[in-house]
Structure 1
Amino acid sequence: MYKAELRKLYRTKRLALSEAEWQQRCTAIQERLLTFFNERFSPDTPLTLHTFLPIRRQREVDTYPIIAELRQRYSKLRVLISRSNPDGSMTHIVWSGHETLTENKWGIPEPAAIKLAEVNSTAIDIVLVPLLIFDKQGNRVGYGKGYYDRFLTTCRPDVLTIGLSLYEPVEAIFDKTSLDVPVYVCFTPFANWYFFNHL
């Protein structure tokens, strides 16, 4: 299917989920992700993790409990969130979990304060990547603004990109381009999908 079709279809499917089913799927994704972290990293591993915060009205995967649990398990975890800039770039900011957040025009929670500690994207080890749906090659469909694709091209080549999806993948996204950055692994409520051998 094409991106426009997939966006329409999976926005509709997500909004059709009951609150209980959405919560169940988010919890299942969290458990899979935490198991992956436990198998891959020791509790004292220094990690800089960039996360998205969910757009509530879009029924995105709830990352708040994921981050809370990771903070408890990893003593040297540094968490970043971003502010979207008018030029299409993203500014990455250290997030302790206590800063005041406001929603931007797309409903994305962002830090309200202007002056917070900024971090270069090359310092990031792991990125939790938002998506509407993905395919069996690791390509993702987002909201079409390109913020994450541009952001990921500025990260180190070894950055670990993790997609979180409420649904299983489609066979293929027909109109992907060279500008689309695939994820290395994607967690759904039902399976772990790995796309690169080093994982």
Structure 2
Amino acid sequence: MLKKELRKTYRAKRAALTPKELAVNQDLILIQFQKLDIPFLEAVHTYIPVSNLREPDPQPLIDWLHFRNPGMVCAAPVADFNSGLMKHVVINDNTEYLVNQFGVTEPAEGLELDASVFDIIFVPLLAFDLSGFRVGYGKGFYDRFLAECRPDAMRIGLSFFDAVEKISDTNNFDQRLDYCITPERSYEF
């Protein structure tokens, strides 16, 4: 399928999930994630889910990683829609947030980190395929960011749905995931 078709289909599939299905699937994603062999971590990059898009929430995974990795630093993106780039701002329990003009919650301020420091990057997506390619929201922010990250950084997507066979219009700009975690299983690419 084409990215455009997948965006439409998977937005509708998410919208059809009941609150109970969302909660159960979220718990199952955490259980699947806990099965991964995760090394000691110093820095993690996460997205802040957009509630009306019904994105899987990486926060329970972050909380579990904090428990296992005392002192781990976590950062979230601040998007610059003029340049198409993101800053990576450290977040913690004291972080204040703003909602940008596109409805995305971002840290208001904080220490910026370089893309090279992250051990794990949680990547938002609408759909993914069996080769590890993903369909995002179409602006390319994460593809540009992932291209700057260390090759050994774990790129992890979260999805309420299984992989599609193939995204037919991927290109050289598209960055692959290393893993995608669903309620039923973990995909490794």
- Tell me how far apart the structure 1 counterparts of residues 70 and 178 of structure 2 sit (CA, whole Å): 25
| Equivalent residue in structure 1 for 2:102, among 81, 106, 114 | 106
- The reply on whether 1:150 has 2:144 as its aligned counterpart is yes
Q: CA deviation at 1:122?
A: 0.9
Does the 8 Å contact 2:180/2:186 carry over to 1?
yes
SS in 2 for 1:91: strand
State how many pairs are aligned.
188
Name the CA shift for 1:6/1:176 in 2 (closer, same or farther; >3 Å): same
User: Normalising by the residue count of structure 1, what TM-score does the alignment of the two structures yield?
Assistant: 0.91
Amino acid in the other structure paired with 1:59 = R
- Tell me how far apart the structure 1 counterparts of residues 178 and 156 of structure 2 sit (CA, whole Å): 6
Does the 8 Å contact 2:41/2:119 carry over to 1?
no
Deviations 1:19-67 (A, max 9, x none): 010111111111111231xx333xxx34211001101000000122222
- Tell me how far apart the structure 1 counterparts of residues 94 and 22 of structure 2 sit (CA, whole Å): 25
1:32 alignment partner in structure 2: 32
Deviations 1:101-124 (A, max 9, x none): 1221222210123xx211110111
Aligned identity (percent) is: 38
- Tell me how far apart the structure 1 counterparts of residues 119 and 41 of structure 2 sit (CA, whole Å): 9
User: Normalising by the residue count of structure 2, what TM-score does the alignment of the two structures yield?
Assistant: 0.95
1:47 alignment partner in structure 2: 42
Does the 8 Å contact 1:34/1:70 carry over to 2?
no
> Mind listing any 5+ residue stretches in structure 2 that lack a counterpart?
none
* Larger CA deviation: 178-187 vs 100-109: 100-109
- The reply on whether 1:56 has 2:51 as its aligned counterpart is yes
Q: CA deviation at 1:156?
A: 1.2
- Tell me how far apart the structure 2 counterparts of residues 176 and 64 of structure 1 sit (CA, whole Å): 29
Superposition RMSD in Å: 1.2
- The reply on whether 1:117 has 2:111 as its aligned counterpart is yes
Q: CA deviation at 1:137?
A: 0.5
Q: CA deviation at 1:126?
A: 0.9
For residues 149-168 of structure 1, what are the structure 2 equivalents within 5 Å?
A: 149-168=143-162
1:90 alignment partner in structure 2: 86
SS in 2 for 1:171: coil
Name the CA shift for 1:46/1:162 in 2 (closer, same or farther; >3 Å): closer
> Mind listing any 5+ residue stretches in structure 1 that lack a counterpart?
none
- Tell me how far apart the structure 1 counterparts of residues 84 and 151 of structure 2 sit (CA, whole Å): 21
- Tell me how far apart the structure 1 counterparts of residues 120 and 16 of structure 2 sit (CA, whole Å): 31
Does the 8 Å contact 1:56/1:107 carry over to 2?
no
- The reply on whether 1:67 has 2:55 as its aligned counterpart is no
Does the 8 Å contact 1:50/1:79 carry over to 2?
yes
**Runs ≥4 in structure 1, deviation > 6 angstroms?**
none
Does the 8 Å contact 1:90/1:151 carry over to 2?
yes
